[in-house]
Amino acid sequence: MTISVGDTLPDVTLTKATADGPEQIQSSEYFKGKKVALFSVPGAFTPTCSARHLPGYVEKAQDLKAKGVDEIACTAVNDAFVLGAWQGANEAGDVTMLADGNGDFAEAVGLTMDGKGFGMGKRGQRYSMIVEDGVVKELNVEQPGDFSVSSAEHMLGQL
């Protein structure tokens, strides 16, 4: 079942990419007491994710924070080392990278995709959500191959 607006995010272990290396964190703890602009990409270093999705959030980070967002986070079915390298390569210090290496979070929110045709296996879909104190306030799921409603620009219009 896909998560919906008004639902509480499931509690799963994610791995936060930090300067000191991977740090495991429970999603319930990470989202507790804050407003988070969360977006999901099918994979770090993939074309749309690297050329448009992440750069949009980097460029609009201060605008999002000015509208009340405490943190901007990106999740992907990649390991923390890959997400950390992607963060560095894109100068994305304002974006917290939450690795979902086994796809547990993507599966728990019901937003997985089959990337086998591209040699990627099970991945998270492209989406964005506004989460307040662990509760989904906005949810924007892209149609396969699209990139519009999960963008930072779209999210700014929702805040």
Please state, in angstroms and rounded to a whole number, the distance separating the CA atoms of residues 90 and 73.
Answer: 14
Q: What is the value of pTM for the model shown?
A: 0.92
Looking at residue 56, which CATH number applies to its domain? 3.40.30.10
Model pLDDT for residues 34-92, shown as the tens digit of each residue: 999 999 998 888 767 666 788 899 999 999 999 999 999 999 999 999 999 989 999 98
What spatial distance separates the first Cα and last Cα of the chain, rounded to whole Å? 26
- 30 close to 62: Cβ distance less than 8 angstroms: no
Give the count of domains, the chain.
1
Question: pLDDT-based confidence at 137, cuts 50/70/90?
Answer: very high
Q: Is residue 104 part of a domain?
A: yes
Query: Which of the following is catalytic: 49, 73, 74, 92?
Result: 49
- What is the mean predicted confidence (pLDDT) over 87-112? 94
Q: Is 74 a catalytic residue?
A: no
Contacts of 14 (CB under 8 A, 6+ apart): 24, 25, 26, 27, 30, 75, 98, 99, 100, 105
Q: Give residue 49's pLDDT.
A: 66
Could you say which DSSP state residue 140 is in? E
Question: pLDDT-based confidence at 119, cuts 50/70/90?
Answer: low
Q: Is residue 3 part of a domain?
A: no
Q: Which domain holds residue 65?
A: 13-158
Chain centroid to CA 37: 8
Asked if pLDDT for residue 131 goes beyond 90, the answer is yes
Q: Which helix (H) or strand (E) holds 47?
A: helix 47-48
